Structure 1
């Protein structure tokens, strides 16, 4: 769904280390494990400075993308804690339609095409670009939006077991509303006759500030489809994450009755505010985690930064976001 040299060793080191997280300092990992050399990192930034984040796990490494500048950076990690910023952009504006508001990139490896696809928002339109590697450069074959004559944001791809590709995205229909459409096989366009409404902001917790449901992500567990989403305005301290379930990728969707599962008042937020617009991803060991952004602090929305928590499924199929957040850092 999304894609650690010596991953088990890295995990042990991370679990046992005592880290100094001051920006510009160094971190030494000194576990008492015979035959394992300590690893030292030079930290150049004490945060992962992206919003609307997404993680792809591929061939032993994690790749993180998000909203920050015109175009999109890519960050690379082997342990989810320590990230290196690539020295080139994953997607540059000259390789894309549009000139401003580059938001919410998601990158997928499509095995049938042996190619990576980046779905993203630019100038409030949804676009797709492709590349040979997860670091890019991603390029639009034809510089145009997926839906030419309508604004939209937050695209997210889901390919079902039968190979059918679905694109979930936000349309501005009575607020921010999540819709789905089947994609054509080239992954460049949608079948407009299949457009189906999925999720709108109707519950009290979803409308504290604005009528907004956004940031969709879909995964399948067993025979159940899960649509994770965020609600409220991203500037709200009560921005949060919920989910709905269905027996079909087009719904109808039933919202979990104990939403939200992540918000400032939930234990997993660990004091963070404005938690939301993230994405689930599969780790090296097959477990799930959830990356999301939060406000800079209690008083300031930006610059937003990203965090990672555990994501699990109960025996009854209930999703939970739990654990102490991983607080990523940028290393040299």
Structure 2
């Protein structure tokens, strides 16, 4: 076994020691992962380049008169890191005086300095999220249903943030207790009421839905678990309706104890270095070690996620060897750029991420990011102009340039600090996300790519630092974007494509794979529209029919890995196709709609 391709939980640290990291919050900044964690003396911070191997860096914040720092989260915006956390005065005996606070720093490792206390009531477990150019905050409180007669406890609220330093003040509940397994303690305060706890919210978007994970029960118990809820995406996050999976009355946890790990909970969900795959990072205790209440025993763990319709799937908590998260095709770090520089060559489908800052200059800064470059007269580029506060997408064909779109940068945009620019290319469609907040896209219809195009940067009298660059061959199709499915499949019948997905016109669709090379992942989200729906899968000489006489959403995952193939249908691995890695997957769909298709090429090393 190649040890560099595998790892075991809990995640290893560079000093070879065991480290406790309760309530891990993981963010990626300038190509590096930062983990912030609970501790009695301060907020711990650790860093990793690959999400697997970690280095402990000490405390991001530590104050001599405070103790019991809980559940930190960090949000980066325009050069400032905002940490949301709670703690107690060192002499305080009432543990319910954990109040949500804000600390700030210009460095992700700290030191963070306290700025304000948001509430003078029990308030914990923040989780900031950018949604359609607005910032929102999930957090947990006791007083929303704390005085209810029948069901009382800690629940999760959601509020809009007017700025990283100010709540709008109009929270709404996200989830309410409904399951016996969510009970923190029976008759906790001696008044006959059982106390429930829902805390530790985290989110991930997949397709047209947002998935929410939450932790429930009591973090000190062996039965602490991670549950899930899902909501259909809407313009305003506050308008979304969250439903536990599979229902409010059925307990189906994403993570809970097994014979090796217990007390699993309080997670974040983060992308692998390839910027595609979702991994859940959580804490857990060794089940075979004695539980010592006064000793911290929660260690950081992580496992990959899959999505099966409206269900999240995780095979954790694991402790056996498993493959490390996938790397990007090309990674570059810490480059000084003051001229034209080429970074990679890619085809018509890719996802890339740039982290860029510029040196302070009285003339400002201007630079181009080439999204596709054939030659000096044919290209598609993004141009950042600090003086005009613009971000423009420009297409040039046969030496004729035209501006496809122009967006204004935020008023206080500071070009001297790192900014994240993400690009998704799907043939002629380019989607740009600036600082995970501003999203815009357009079509370069005139530009006709021939083979692979160059990706790079060109400066104009400006000195840049490219803190990190990563690119992966991938595409994720939903709604009308499913017209690009013909890149990987030959469709043998006519189909309709609309905002709901792709459906055959005459009930049956045969899809012949164009894929021949190994080392890739396909994900197909499907919906059987009536009881006559089913899917027939053919790989090499093997074929099987699934989901006969069933209605609803489900997924197919195909992992072609060298000479071997792994196939999952409706959340279950199908062992019969394990030796067909170099053969494409043909499909026949009957009365079934395609909701989403994702293809990603796998890379071992960056």
Q: Give the TM-score category using the shorter length.
A: 0.7 to 0.9
Gaps of 5+ in 2: 89-97, 147-152, 186-194, 322-606
**TM-score when scaled to structure 2?**
0.43
- Name 1:254's counterpart in structure 2: 243
CA distance in 2 between counterparts of 1:16 and 1:190 reads: 43
Q: Quick check: 1:57–1:284 contact (8 Å CA) kept in 2?
A: no
Distance 1:42 1:128, change over 3 A: closer
Query: Considering only CA atoms, is the larger Rg found in Structure 1 or Structure 2?
Result: 2
C-alpha distance in 1 between matches for 2:136 and 2:14: 41
Trace 1:79-98 onto structure 2 (pairs within 5 A). Answer: 79-86=50-57, 88-93=58-63
Structure 1 distance, partners of 2:113, 2:14, is: 33
Residue in structure 2 matching 1:116, options 61, 68, 81: 81
1:214 is displaced (CA, Å) by 0.6
Post-superposition shift, 1:126?
0.8
1:103 and 2:70 aligned: yes
Alignment of 1:50-199 (within 5 A): 50-86=21-57, 88-93=58-63, 99-110=66-77, 113-123=78-88, 124-140=98-114, 142=115, 144-147=116-119, 149-160=120-131, 162-173=132-143, 174=146, 175-185=153-163, 187-192=164-169, 194-199=170-175
Measure the CA separation in 2 of the matches of 1:163 and 1:53. Answer: 26
Q: 1:16/1:241 Cα in 2 relative to 1: closer, same or farther (>3 Å)? A: closer
Counterpart-to-counterpart distance in 1, 2:320 and 2:36 = 17
CA distance 1:273–1:122, shift in 2 (3 Å): same
Question: Could you tell me how far apart the structure 2 residues matched to 1:16 and 1:242 are?
Answer: 27
Deviation per residue, 1:34-58 (Å, 9 max, x gap):
xxxxxxx96431x331111111122
User: What is the rounded CA distance, in whole Å, between the counterparts of 2:220 and 2:62 in structure 1?
Assistant: 27
Partner SS, residue 120 of structure 1: strand
Count of residue pairs brought into register by the alignment: 278
Aligned to 1:300: 291
In structure 1, how many angstroms separate the alpha carbons of the residues matched to 2:222 and 2:205? 30
- Offset at 1:325? 4.6
Note the residue ranges of structure 1 that are not aligned, 5 or more in a row: 1-11, 22-26, 28-40, 328-332
Distance 2:14 2:21 in 1: 20
CA contact (8 A) 1:50 1:304 kept: yes
User: Is the aligned partner of 1:289 residue 2:267?
Assistant: no
> Conserved in 1, the CA contact under 8 Å of 2:51 and 2:272?
no
CA distance in 2, matches of 1:16, 1:165: 37
Identify which range, 209-218 or 273-282, moves more after superposition: 209-218
1:252 Cα deviation after fit: 2.3
1:112-148 deviations in Å (ceiling 9; x for gaps): x2322211122311112222222122223x3x3122x
CA contact (8 A) 2:35 2:45 kept: yes
Structure 2 counterpart SS, 1:101: strand
Q: Hey, what's the Cα distance between the residues in 2 that align with 1:326 and 1:131?
A: 38
CA RMSD of aligned residues (A): 2.6
Q: 1:82 to 1:71 in 2, by over 3 A?
A: same
Q: Please, what TM-score do these two structures have when normalized by structure 1? A: 0.76
Q: Is the 8 A contact 1:307 1:326 kept in 2?
A: no
Q: What is the aligned partner in structure 1 of residue 462 from structure 2?
A: none
User: What does residue 34 of structure 1 align with?
Assistant: none
Q: Which moved more, 1:151-160 or 1:202-211?
A: 202-211
The answer to whether residue 183 in structure 2 is matched with residue 218 in structure 1 is no
Contact 2:14 2:55 in 1 (8 A): no
Task: Say if 1:137 and 1:319 are closer, same or farther in 2 by CA, change over 3 A.
Answer: same
Deviations 1:54-86 (A, max 9, x none): 111222222111112322121112233322111
Q: Which residue of 1 aligns with 2:306?
A: 312
Task: Specify which structure has the bigger relative contact order, considering alpha-carbon pairs within 8 angstroms and separated by 6 or more residues.
Answer: 1
Kept after mapping to 1: 8 A contact 2:230/2:310: no
Give the distance between the partners of 2:284 and 2:297, measured in 1 at CA: 9
Please identify, of 227-236 and 210-219, the stretch whose mean Cα deviation from structure 2 is larger: 210-219
1:14 and 2:8 equivalent? no
Answer 1 or 2: which has greater strand percent: 2
CA drift of 1:222 comes to 3.0
Q: Counterparts of 1:16 and 1:156 in 2: how far apart (Å)?
A: 30
1:154 is displaced (CA, Å) by: 0.6
Residue 314 of structure 2 corresponds to which residue in structure 1?
321
Q: Is the 8 A contact 2:217 2:225 kept in 1?
A: yes
